[in-house]
Amino acid sequence: MAQAQVPDVVVRRLPLYLRTLTYMEDRGQEVVSSTELGEWTGFSPAQIRRDLSYFGEFGKQGLGYPVRYLREQLESILHVDQQWHLVLIGAGALGHALVKYHTFRRWNYHIEAVFDNDPEKIGQAIDGLTIQPMSELARTIKEKHIDIAILAVPAEHAQEVGEQAVAAGVRAILNYAPINLALPPEVHVSHIDPVVNLQSITYYL
């Protein structure tokens, strides 16, 4: 089935399946049923089977899924079996933490450059990367073949910075700023806002 026909909610569940399968493989498990995968991820076995059916047949009824094979297939579907080059915009406390979050590299996401507009930060180093001025953003994106930008900037600057990144050739943005971005529809934007998640949690308390 063509990728455009796969619902976004299904795509968002695939990394959760992949993470679970990776853990299972690391502990030596060779086969997993949709029931067991559902117990680990919180989704029903029927939902898991429907999600996977968008991409083909990966197991046999009654026998389960080969863990390594399904893990490899999900990595291919999500394109995490290749290297992705990123830039980080915003060298504050969050930016520092993101650069040092080496799990990104475990999944082939490599932060190649860091940018900020604060003159006091420019020239400083974070985990081997020198903070660059925003004036060098477009050149760096082209030279390093950057596909994705991570925004860790204040909300009031996020839209402008996002537009700069897109104009320079970025095709996707991971946005940590607490504001939704209005960007061209061909640019995929994913928003991460811990406050929104906390507000959802406290509803239940």
Instruction: Give per-residue pLDDT as tens, 14-32.
Output: 999 999 999 999 999 999 9
Whether residues 101 and 176 share a domain: the answer is yes
Whether residues 174 and 88 share a domain: the answer is yes
pTM: 0.88
Whether residues 100 and 45 share a domain: the answer is no
Tens digit of each residue's pLDDT (9 = 90 or more) over 71-117: 999 999 999 999 999 999 999 999 999 999 999 999 999 999 999 99
pLDDT band at 34 (very low <50, low <70, confident <90, very high): very high
Q: Domain total for the chain?
A: 2
The CATH code of the domain that includes 32 is 1.10.10.10
Whether residues 89 and 175 share a domain: the answer is yes
Q: b/e per residue, 162-175, with b = 16+ CB within 10 A?
A: bebbbebebebbbb
Question: Measuring CA to CA, how many Å separate 153 from each of 42, 101, 150, 156, 176?
Answer: 33, 17, 9, 8, 7
Domain residues for 134?
A: 84-197
* Whole-angstrom distance, CA of residue 10 vs CA of residue 202: 26
So what's the pLDDT on residue 2?
44
% of residues, the chain, pLDDT over 90: 90
- Given a cut of 80, is residue 1 above it in pLDDT? no
